[in-house]
Amino acid sequence: MKLIKQLFFVFAFLALAFSCKNENKKASTTSTVENTENASVEKTGQAFIQDDEGTPNCLQIAIGSPDHKTLVAAVQAAQVENALVNVGPLTVFAPTDAAFNALPEGTVENLVKPENKAVLANILKYHVTPGNLNETILTKLKKLGQANNQYVQVEVKDGKPIIGGANIIASVKAGNGIVHVIDKVLLPPSE
């Protein structure tokens, strides 16, 4: 009889232990689902990692510039932030706000609409070249292969490179390449 009581207590203990374990699993699963749902609303990727110590990457340089608010808004609308923070090296041609203002009226407003996200992303990728290409290197090239798989022409006038008709007005070294500030928005050729 004593053995039966002991077995009963062992089985009761095991049943209690398993039922608690299953309830913890349910709570854990519910918590994980809620956390996943909340995380999906947040922006993720390299572009959103905070780093106060390293050399700013191409995106951080644009964000920190008072002359590139339109470019940053376009990058965010097209959701291509992560492309500008890749390890690289990258050469980014960054049109100023004045360059965007020179486009026909309503162009920027139309491009940042959600239904034009792919067109905007294509235009922005046309401003990015693999490699760390300073002005000296650029003067030796005839064309550049851009991140959107198209080419932009390079001319040299008075010893300065002209990229797709745009002048480089400043250059800033980045942690993942170089940013050339340009005075014109580069528009990819129609296919």
Distance between CA atoms of residues 75 and 69, nearest Å: 10
Q: Across the chain, what does the average pLDDT equal?
A: 81
Domains of the chain: which residue ranges? 1-42, 54-182
Give the Å distances, CA to CA, from 10 to 13, 18, 19, 36, 50: 5, 12, 14, 38, 53
Give me the helices (H) in 79-134, please.
97-101, 107-111, 117-125
Average pLDDT over residues 58-82: 95
Average pLDDT over residues 171-190: 96
Per-residue pLDDT at 88: 83
Per-residue pLDDT at 83: 85
Inform me whether the pLDDT recorded for 166 exceeds 50: yes
> Which DSSP string corresponds to 27-81?
HHHHHHHHHHHHHHHS--SGGG---SSSPP-HHHHHHH-TT-HHHHHHHHHHT-G
Asked if 177 and 90 touch (Cβ cutoff 8 Å), the reply is yes
Closest-CA residue to 86 (of 146, 128, 29): 128
pLDDT bin (cut points 50, 70, 90) of residue 55 is confident
CATH domain 54-182 topology: FAS1 domain (2.30.180)
Express each pLDDT in 107-121 by its tens digit.
999 999 999 999 999
pTM above 0.85, yes or no: no
Query: Who's near 103: CB < 8 A, 6+ residues apart?
Result: 185
| 5 or 162, which is more confident | 162
Average pLDDT over residues 51-56: 70
Asked if 148 and 126 touch (Cβ cutoff 8 Å), the reply is yes
Amino acid occupying residue 14: L
Distance between CA atoms of residues 7 and 145, nearest Å: 76
Query: Residue written as tokens 């203990």?
Result: 13
CA–chain centroid gap for 1, Å, is 72
